[in-house]
Amino acid sequence: MSEGLLNVFQWYGAIAGAIAALVVSLDLGRRATGWAFVLFVTASVAYVAWGFLNDEGKAVAWQNVVLFAINVIGVYRYLIRKKPVHG
C-alpha cells in the first residue's frame, strides 16, 4: 500500500473525528448531531482502512470497527428515527 494513501486515511480520520466531536459538543440540535455521526462513520472507515493496511495499526482498526457500529447507531438515532414523543 502506498505511504501517501495511508497518510490520507490517517489524517482524514483524525481531522474528521475532531470536527465531528466539535459539532457534537456544540449541541447544535438533532440534525447537526446526526451529520456529525455521519462524519464519525467516515472517520471510522478511514481508520479501519489505515489500521488493517498498516503493520502497526491493528488495534486502532479493531477499535474503529466497534466505533463504526456505535456511530451507525448515532446516525440512525439522530437522522433516521423519528424523535420519540414524550408525554
* Predicted model pTM: 0.90
Counting DSSP H helices and E strands in the chain, the numbers are: 3, 0
Instruction: Write out the residue range of the structural domain in which residue 27 sits.
Output: 3-80
Q: Has residue 86 been placed in a domain?
A: no
The total domain count for the chain is: 1
Q: Quick one: pLDDT band at residue 77, thresholds 50, 70, 90?
A: very high
Q: Quick one: pLDDT band at residue 55, thresholds 50, 70, 90?
A: confident
Per-residue confidence (pLDDT) for residue 44, from 0 to 100? 98
Q: Has residue 87 been placed in a domain?
A: no
Q: Has residue 56 been placed in a domain?
A: yes
Q: Has residue 19 been placed in a domain?
A: yes
Q: Cell triple for residue 40?
A: 464519525
Q: Has residue 49 been placed in a domain?
A: yes
Q: Has residue 9 been placed in a domain?
A: yes
End-to-end CA distance of the chain: 55
pLDDT digits (tens, 9 = 90+) for 33-46: 999 999 999 999 99
